């Protein structure tokens, strides 16, 4: 008989933003949640979540806490990650309309413009079909959301919204990273977190963990 597997250990960046909602959703789905504030907290994680908040502040806090470089390394090495809103900005490779000292983790080949829906609408909601998610459309809440202006060739666009005849990617996936422009954690929408946990499970299986 094989030993029962321990629960997946998922870190939630807990420097700023809507940490609690992500943590509650992950616990509900059976994960052990680690609130990550210091480099030591990254030890032994199977997955990671970058919450929404303010990407400029998150960038500064990531640097002052010493987390920026070790986290970037873990993500570059393939730690499965979900980033929502400001988390999407942080996962990208280039930030437009950022602060001059704002750094991003560069995990997904995206150029992302901050607050770009905001010129027309500060926040809005939409029902989206997300490729690969069963069970009907995702009700998406966008709050001062980023716009993906460029997605690299290895980026799969799983959902878009149409604005003024242009399709703007809002769910993007590359390797084990998923970047989402809206806030699934605020509406009880748990399918993207499930996707993260599936990715974690398949990596752990592959590693024989
Ligand atoms: N506008 C924020 C930023 O630039 C993101 C907003 C959010 O996470 N809800 O970081």
For residue 51, the ligand 1 atom closest to its alpha carbon is 8
Distance CA 14, CA 144 (A): 20
* Contact of 132 with 107, CB cutoff 8 Å: no
Q: What is the tally of structural domains in the chain?
A: 1
Residue 156 domain flag: yes
For residue 172, indicate whether it is catalytic.
Answer: no
User: Is the minimum distance from the CB of 89 to ligand 1 under 6 angstroms?
Assistant: yes
Paired residues of 12 in beta bridges: 35, 49
List alpha helices for the chain, DSSP H.
19-28, 55-64, 68-76, 86-91, 191-206
Tokens of 111: 């150029």
Beta-carbon count within 10 A of 40 CB: 10
What domain range is 120 assigned to? 9-206
Instruction: Please tell me which residue in 185, 189, 193, 199 is annotated as part of the active site.
Output: 185
What per-residue confidence (pLDDT) applies to 1? Answer: 52
- At 42 the three-state DSSP class reads helix
- Residue 59, domain CATH: 3.40.50.880
In a domain, 91, yes or no: yes
The yes-or-no answer on residue 185 being catalytic is yes
Assess if residue 142 is contained within a domain.
yes
Which residues are registered as beta bridge partners of 148?
112
- 21 is a domain residue: yes
Whether residue 180 contacts residue 84, with contact meaning beta carbons closer than 8 Å, is answered with yes
Q: Is residue 38 part of a domain?
A: yes
Residue 2 lies in a domain: no
Share of the chain residues as helix, strand and coil, in percent rounded to the nearest 5: 30, 30, 40
Kindly state whether residue 1 falls inside one of the protein's structural domains.
no
Q: Is residue 4 part of a domain?
A: no
pLDDT digits (tens, 9 = 90+) for 61-89: 999 999 999 999 999 999 999 999 999 99
- Ligand 1 mean position to 56 CA, how many Å? 9
Q: What is the pLDDT of residue 170?
A: 98
How many Å apart are CA 4 and CA 202, to the nearest integer? 16
Is 85 among the residues known to form the active site?
yes
Distance 147 CA to ligand 1 centre (A): 11
Contact 141 CB / ligand 1 (< 6 Å)? no
Query: pTM of the full predicted structure?
Result: 0.95
Q: What are phi and psi of 74, to 5 degrees?
A: -60, -40
- pLDDT tens by residue, 102-140: 999 999 999 999 998 865 567 899 999 999 999 999 999
In this predicted model, what pLDDT tens digit does every residue of 164-192 receive, in sequence order? 889 999 999 999 999 999 999 999 999 99
């Amino acid at each position: 008989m094989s030993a029962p597997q321990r629960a997946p250990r998922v870190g939630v960046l807990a420097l700023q933003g809507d940490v609690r909602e992500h943590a509650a959703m992950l616990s509900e789905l059976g994960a052990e949640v680690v609130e990550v504030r210091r480099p030591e907290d990254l030890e032994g994680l199977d997955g990671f979540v970058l919450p929404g908040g303010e990407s400029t502040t998150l960038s500064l806090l990531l640097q002052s806490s010493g987390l920026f470089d070790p986290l970037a390394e873990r993500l570059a090495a393939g730690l499965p990650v979900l980033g929502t809103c400001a988390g999407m900005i942080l996962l990208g490779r280039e930030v437009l309309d950022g602060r001059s000292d704002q750094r991003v983790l560069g995990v997904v080949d995206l150029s992302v413009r901050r607050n770009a829906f905001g010129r027309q609408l500060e926040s809005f909601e939409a029902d989206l079909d997300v490729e690969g998610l069963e069970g009907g459309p995702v009700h998406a809440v966008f709050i001062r959301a980023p716009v993906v202006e460029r997605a690299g060739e290895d980026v799969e666009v799983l959902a878009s919204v149409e604005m003024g005849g242009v399709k703007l990617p809002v769910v993007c996936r590359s390797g084990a990273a998923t970047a989402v422009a809206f806030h699934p954690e605020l509406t009880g929408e748990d399918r993207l977190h499930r996707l993260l946990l599936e990715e974690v499970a398949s990596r752990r299986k592959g590693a024989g963990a």
